Structure 1
Amino acid sequence: MNGAVVTVVVITYNDAEHVTEAVTSALAQGDAVGEVVVVDDASTDGTTRLLEQLAADNPRVRVIRRETNSGGCGTPRNDGIDAARCPWLVFLDSDDVLPPNGVDALLDVALRHDADVAAGLCVRRELPSGREIAWQEELFTAESVHDGVAGRPQTLWDTLSVNKIYRRDFLLSRRIRFPDGAAHYEDFVFTARVYAARPRLAVSPERVYVWHVRYGTGEASISLRRDRIQNWQDRVSAHQQVLEIMRESGDQDLLMAAQTKFLEFDLAVYLGELPQRTPEYQDAWWRISRGHIRAFEAEAVRRATPAARWRTAVLLGRERQAAKLRRLAELAATPPRLAPPYAGAAQRPLWDETGSAPEGADEIVLDGLCDAPLVQLPFFVAADVRAGRRLLLDLRLPDLYGRIADAGPERAIVELRHRVTGTAHRYEAVWEAEQGEQGWRAVVAADAAVLCERRTITTWDAWVTLTFRDGESVARPLRAGSGLGRQVRVGRRGRVLLLQPYATSSGGLAVRVADGLVGMRTVLTGRLARRVRR
């Protein structure tokens, strides 16, 4: 193939709207891509006709059409592995794209280090806003190579199959395949099989995959259906398979790392949203989660961060009704927040107030809180909002078992960050101790007009950086307090502004801003759309 050594396997099902863009992004990778194998999982819309035209127009495109739908993503990817003619494989979903030079970046680092597998940075692009969030960015800060992943157990946090290039012979010789059929979270199982096979793994900091997350476009992807309890059951079932793979590999450290990762990440993602769910969902979630983590090794729990250990202790030691779900959800935020009341004492901090724990239940000690570095402490800054021509943020910083007082808070720098572009407006204030209270207060004022962009609605996320007596700084998202809701205000030169301070799903403070005309059109359009739907 004259240097064309990569097969890009694209899987699709009833995705006529996006598949052409995906295939085009694969063909645009350049000469290294010898073929694009598109596996059509028995589509019933116009996908098949589009693929036939793409194949007719470009000899590098081959189409494999399944006669029956597999019900999942694993079987068509396996078909692509079997059909590939090139020595290297890359996977692509039909509603995502490969960025320019993504394949070259992966292939270059794999060849340079004689690797079996190479991984690069994936970004989640939220549509229609275009906001991009890097996936597990801390794993892709520099080029590196590893003989197996045991020496870099944090690799297990990267459960994606699509941000990697694979030597096809490596997959075939180890019989590494995706779960067949209607298995969900098949990436978890596939990547566990890859890691357990001890590959020589190269890592690139380059951007190699764009994962599209589409909101408000009908049926959500599997990873976004977290409001369905079956989604959590599927995720737990996939993780149980991951743990079995690690046990069979004989690598105890990988087994521990897989359990710790679940406590740190998977559990926290769903726990943060649990107060929004129905009581029936909450009860089922609690039961499924308890049953799963009760089998974890004690050492895996000890290796977790303090907040993850405390969440685990509450889940195992309290019934759902007595767990104070909203407080527990805040402890699952990123970074974690521990809201009052602060029970026990500085030497022995407790989850429950004395005498409030269920009869016969053991005390839950917040172990490690007294020794944890300042950056790991679950403290927070809450902001009450008052809106006029200026946006006033009344900041309150509660003490945490004396740890904040010992550190000595001095200044607060508030940033309002544009959610898409990252542009920031900064405001500074000095902390003052509140009389008769164990905490501090500061007030900042922002000109609401500078946050407004004409003919559009902008969203700003609020962050605060605290500086302490010894010069240490810690950044935190501001926690939403009072004063939320849609408000109309008059800005400079009589300009009408629509402001909406609100709490994000994790309890952080954000502000939507629009000029009066755009705000009015948006509100009226939304009302009309709701009437049409009714």
Structure 2
Amino acid sequence: MTDHHPAASGTPAGAADVPDVTVVVGAYQAMPYLVKCLESVEAQTLGADRIEIVAVDDGSTDGTGEYLEEFAARSKVATRVVRQANSGGPGGPRNKGLSLARGRFVFFLDADDYFGEEALERMVAMADRAGTDVVLGKVVGVNRGAPKSMWKKTVEHADVYASNVKYTLSAQKLFRRELLVRHDMSFDTSMRTGEDALFTLEAYLRGSGVSIVADYTCYYLVGRDDGVHLTKSGSYAIRFESARRLMELIAELVPAGDRRDQLMVRPFTITLLPQFGPVVLGQSREVLADKFTLAAPLTAAHFTPGLARRLKPQDRLRLTCVALGKQDALLEIAAFLKAGTSPETVRGLRGEYLAYPGFRDRATGIPDTAYQLVGRPGRLRTAPDGARRRARKAARRARRIAGRALRKLGLRR
């Protein structure tokens, strides 16, 4: 381990020497992206004397470790370099960096990415002004996509439950270190995916609040040309494990009711639902059966009516099929969705429905509520007296379309 604390930043040891921010940089095979990453830390308007870097080289063989040593020797930003054997994931380097951090705040900066020049100054000012423990700075993708829905406006105290902050659970946030220390928080290195979501959501829920800096691009999320750090697909089983852990955290920290349902939408739609889309049409029945088995305890414990009403009809319908163990019905719906056909809207006494396959088919046994259009959470759209014949006709048409798609895919004779 190499430590460099330049005289240029030389305030006396003790409380006055505590930097505002520790930037933790976990780096693996990070060249040449690491150069711009570290330059963006040096360029911060917050000032070199208010920042420290803890950089962890996770067993790189491309010169990453050597470059970190060189940077630490010449930079005005106090930099500590740790070189260790490869840990197999980002959680290990982040945990090491966190254990060495001294700053009032910690920011986990990926070695491929970089800051906007005013990022840390703006985020620290926000945290100090609002008294919040987590600050989200606007993220923009470079050669890749990035989350967008949560950057509509700057907010001092975001509603974790009702707002879209729950849809950005990556680790690239400003965290108050006292919160992390008080709750002994760290990244779970046993998880092969989703450890950052678990860490970040816990901070959201245990902290004093979440702020959003949306009027300035704080973070540039870089897609590498070589694709080295693209998320690996991995086994579907690890996705179910990631969903399970996130659902259990929510259930542990949020009492049953509307707020819990609001948060549960995230793991159900972002992590679980993609496993039951058109992808199932190209997988074996054995794999589908295994997915249903993995999902069963999750839907049994957490798929509540309040949660279901918050979902889009096609999402609610697919998850209802999973919850009820309706594999054949799910395949028909997946084929219908892949065919790209819009379902007919049917009006009934109790509201409006989208006639996806299985609608009002007694043999399928899926309740009408799975197909129902919903207005505000918990309130159904009312409609004029409805049309049973139209409903049956639309359901038959949906089944024919799904049947044709399944035959085309070789899943039905």
- Provide TM-score, normalisation by structure 1: 0.58
Instruction: Using the TM superposition, give the Cα deviation of residue 245 of structure 1 relative to its aligned residue in structure 2, in angstroms.
Output: 2.0
**Is 1:165 the equivalent of 2:169?**
no
- 2:27–2:57 contact (8 Å) kept in structure 1: yes
Match of 1:9 among 10, 24, 36: 24
Instruction: Using the TM superposition, give the Cα deviation of residue 48 of structure 1 relative to its aligned residue in structure 2, in angstroms.
Output: 1.3
- 1:233: which partner in 2? 237
- The one-letter code of the counterpart of 1:235 is R
**Is 1:266 the equivalent of 2:271?**
yes
Alpha-carbon distance between aligned partners in 2 of 1:24 and 1:41, rounded to the nearest angstrom: 20
- 1:212: which partner in 2? 222
Instruction: Using the TM superposition, give the Cα deviation of residue 172 of structure 1 relative to its aligned residue in structure 2, in angstroms.
Output: 0.7
Instruction: Give the 3 Å change call, closer, same or farther, for CA 185–146 of structure 1 in structure 2.
Output: same
Instruction: Using the TM superposition, give the Cα deviation of residue 233 of structure 1 relative to its aligned residue in structure 2, in angstroms.
Output: 2.4
Instruction: Give the 3 Å change call, closer, same or farther, for CA 251–123 of structure 1 in structure 2.
Output: farther
Alpha-carbon distance between aligned partners in 2 of 1:190 and 1:366, rounded to the nearest angstrom: 35
Instruction: Using the TM superposition, give the Cα deviation of residue 10 of structure 1 relative to its aligned residue in structure 2, in angstroms.
Output: 0.6
Instruction: Using the TM superposition, give the Cα deviation of residue 273 of structure 1 relative to its aligned residue in structure 2, in angstroms.
Output: 5.7
Secondary structure at the aligned position of 1:233 is classed as helix
Gaps of 5+ in 1: 128-132, 332-336, 374-400, 403-437, 439-534
- 2:31–2:62 contact (8 Å) kept in structure 1: yes
Alpha-carbon distance between aligned partners in 2 of 1:246 and 1:371, rounded to the nearest angstrom: 24
Alpha-carbon distance between aligned partners in 2 of 1:353 and 1:251, rounded to the nearest angstrom: 34
**Is 1:324 the equivalent of 2:332?**
yes
Mapping of 1:410-421 within 5 angstroms? none
Match of 1:296 among 293, 302, 326: 302
Instruction: Give the 3 Å change call, closer, same or farther, for CA 221–155 of structure 1 in structure 2.
Output: same
Instruction: Using the TM superposition, give the Cα deviation of residue 237 of structure 1 relative to its aligned residue in structure 2, in angstroms.
Output: 1.4
**Is 1:363 the equivalent of 2:366?**
yes
Alpha-carbon distance between aligned partners in 1 of 2:141 and 2:278, rounded to the nearest angstrom: 20
- 1:37–1:80 contact (8 Å) kept in structure 2: yes
- 1:175: which partner in 2? 184
Higher relative contact order (CA 8 A, sep 6+): 2
Mapping of 1:464-479 within 5 angstroms? none
Alpha-carbon distance between aligned partners in 2 of 1:121 and 1:240, rounded to the nearest angstrom: 29
- 1:248: which partner in 2? 252
- 1:100: which partner in 2? 117
Alpha-carbon distance between aligned partners in 2 of 1:187 and 1:66, rounded to the nearest angstrom: 22
- 2:82: which partner in 1? 65
- 1:115–1:200 contact (8 Å) kept in structure 2: yes
Task: Give the structure with the larger helix fraction.
Answer: 2
Secondary structure at the aligned position of 2:102 is classed as coil
Instruction: Using the TM superposition, give the Cα deviation of residue 213 of structure 1 relative to its aligned residue in structure 2, in angstroms.
Output: 2.4
Instruction: Give the 3 Å change call, closer, same or farther, for CA 367–284 of structure 1 in structure 2.
Output: closer
What percent identity do the matched residue pairs reach? 22
**Over residues 346-375 of structure 1, what are the superposed CA-to-partner deviations in whole Å (9 max), with x where a residue is unaligned?**
326543267978x5x3035365646659xx
**Is 1:203 the equivalent of 2:206?**
no
Match of 1:306 among 291, 299, 313: 313
Instruction: Give the 3 Å change call, closer, same or farther, for CA 268–124 of structure 1 in structure 2.
Output: farther
Alpha-carbon distance between aligned partners in 1 of 2:359 and 2:133, rounded to the nearest angstrom: 56
Gaps of 5+ in 2: 1-8, 377-385, 388-396, 398-413
**Over residues 19-57 of structure 1, what are the superposed CA-to-partner deviations in whole Å (9 max), with x where a residue is unaligned?**
222111122113445222111112233111111111122
- 1:352: which partner in 2? 357
Secondary structure at the aligned position of 1:295 is classed as helix
Secondary structure at the aligned position of 1:207 is classed as strand
- Provide TM-score, normalisation by structure 2: 0.73
Instruction: Give the 3 Å change call, closer, same or farther, for CA 86–286 of structure 1 in structure 2.
Output: same
- 2:152: which partner in 1? 141
Instruction: Using the TM superposition, give the Cα deviation of residue 338 of structure 1 relative to its aligned residue in structure 2, in angstroms.
Output: 5.4
- 1:377: which partner in 2? none
- 1:10–1:92 contact (8 Å) kept in structure 2: yes
Task: Give the structure with the larger strand fraction.
Answer: 1
